[in-house]
Amino acid sequence: MRKIPVFIIMLFLIVGTILAQDKDEAKSKRMRPVLVVIDIQNQFLPSIPERDKEVGLYMINAFIDMFRKNGFPVIRVHHTDPANGPAQGSEGFQFPATVQVKSDDPMVIKNYTNSFKKTGLNQILQDKKCNTVFLCGLSAVGCVLATYFGAHELDYNAFMLKDAIMSHNSDYTDNVEDIFGAVNFETVKVMLENAEK
């Protein structure tokens, strides 16, 4: 039996190591999603047109259900202003009872439009190893938009969810969805089915 030269064995080992690294690198680049539900608090919802609110809350629940069924986290963000409220724990601070968040969903409390600014949101996403943020809630022209930019500044992939963001003006919301390419329910469903768990 012939002896295999040492350099051939070394070559196989090196190629195998490189292929394994490439596979690990490709896996690490796969989408690891999280749903961030922003500011759908009782104090702010009255400023939303009734039809938009009805559709928006329905779609937010549908997305929450989709993320849960696929095993991905849901994070709830609540806004408060030290001077103007709503005060933490008050009725105005709470999400409506019809919204299907759970008490063990991480909660972020913010004082700025960007949900990442001076909050623990970035750390929560790092702890959960999430790299792709799906945003819904209020306001399409305020906190959702600021959080979208904040996510990109921190190198997250970020998407707004079509029909699940709202603002005081339906036309403004439609413009934000168009300009920033909000993704629809069926597209998100396919994305989550192919995401890394």
Phi, psi of 189 (to 5 degrees): -55, -45
Is 3.40.50.850 the CATH classification of the domain at 31-193? Answer: yes
153 and 181 Cβ atoms separated by less than 8 Å: no
Distance CA 127, CA 108 (A): 14
Q: What is the C-alpha separation between 37 and 96, in angstroms, rounded?
A: 12
pLDDT (tens digit per residue) in 113-123: 999 999 999 99
Tens digits of residue pLDDT in 134-181: 999 999 999 999 999 999 999 999 999 999 999 999 999 999 999 999
Structure tokens, 147? 């959080």
Domain limits of the chain?
A: 1-30, 31-193
On whether the pTM is more than 0.75, the answer is yes
